[in-house]
Structure 1
Amino acid sequence: MKNTFVRLAIVASLSTVALSAHAALDTYSAHGSVVAVNAHNQEITVKQDVVTELGWPARTFTYAAGSSVLKDIAVGQTVDVKFTSSNAFDANAHSITPVSQ
């Protein structure tokens, strides 16, 4: 019985650490035009404006994006991208919204 409580306490602690690490990722925004959509690799490439919060210059950047995020997105559209990033070379798009030009 004591071992069960210890195991539960360990699982609860690890869950809290995992949630804290996930919460530490901030969400950022980028604005630009879609250059490529690769549904097979679940990626989108956007020629985007500066992302000042991260010190990113205007550039063309490829985001990892799930198939639900890529739905109804086409090359040439102007979009707003909401994403998380742990470094300047890797980012995950969580939403992509077409905007009027």
Structure 2
Amino acid sequence: MKHSLSRIAAVALFSLFAVSAAQAGVETYRVHGTVQQVDAANGKVTLAQDAVTELGWPVRTMTYKVDGDNTLTGISAGQTVDATFTTTSPYQASIQFITPTAH
């Protein structure tokens, strides 16, 4: 029984390290902007956003895919927001978190 628990603990620990390593390879970025359109049915939001200097992106309007069913809850056109996203190209990015801001 002790060996079984040790094996389970070792597998759990290895899994935790594997997930952490996979997440460490994903680059995340932040953007500030104004919501232009929310398409909750298709999991998309369009932002008129500030530049993302880390990626060399200028000030622009961009439509993002949104990860998670509840990410757009409480988000509507006209709101100023901060968002955290990942990207694989200048034209494909996915928002993980979006939060209304006061400014």
User: After TM superposition, is the score higher than 0.5?
Assistant: yes
* 1:29 and 2:30 matched: yes
What is the CA RMSD across the aligned residues, in angstroms?
2.0
Corresponding residue of 1:5: none
Q: Any residues of structure 2 matched to 1:7-18 within 5 Å, and which?
A: 16=18
| Cα shift readout 1:68-93 (whole Å, capped 9, x = no counterpart) | 11010000000001000011000010
The more displaced of 58-67 and 78-87 is 58-67
Instruction: Report what 2:42 is aligned to.
Output: 41
Q: Is the 8 A contact 1:51 1:57 kept in 2?
A: yes
Instruction: Return the alpha-carbon distance in structure 1 between the equivalents of residues 94 and 24 of structure 2.
Output: 15
What is the TM-score of this pair, normalised by structure 1? 0.78
2:92 & 2:22 partners in 1: Cα distance? 17
The aligned runs of 1:1-101 (5 Å cut-off) are 16=18, 20=21, 22-65=23-66, 66-101=68-103
3-state secondary structure, aligned to 2:70: helix
Percent identity, aligned pairs only, is 44
Query: Hey, what's the Cα distance between the residues in 2 that align with 1:22 and 1:72?
Result: 27
Partner SS, residue 102 of structure 2 = coil
- What secondary structure does 1:37 align onto? strand
TM-score, normalised via structure 2 length: 0.76
Deviating above 6 A after TM superposition, structure 1's stretches of 4 or more consecutive aligned residues are none
How far, CA to CA, are the matches of 1:24 and 1:95 in structure 2?
18
1:25/1:86 contact within 8 Å kept:
no
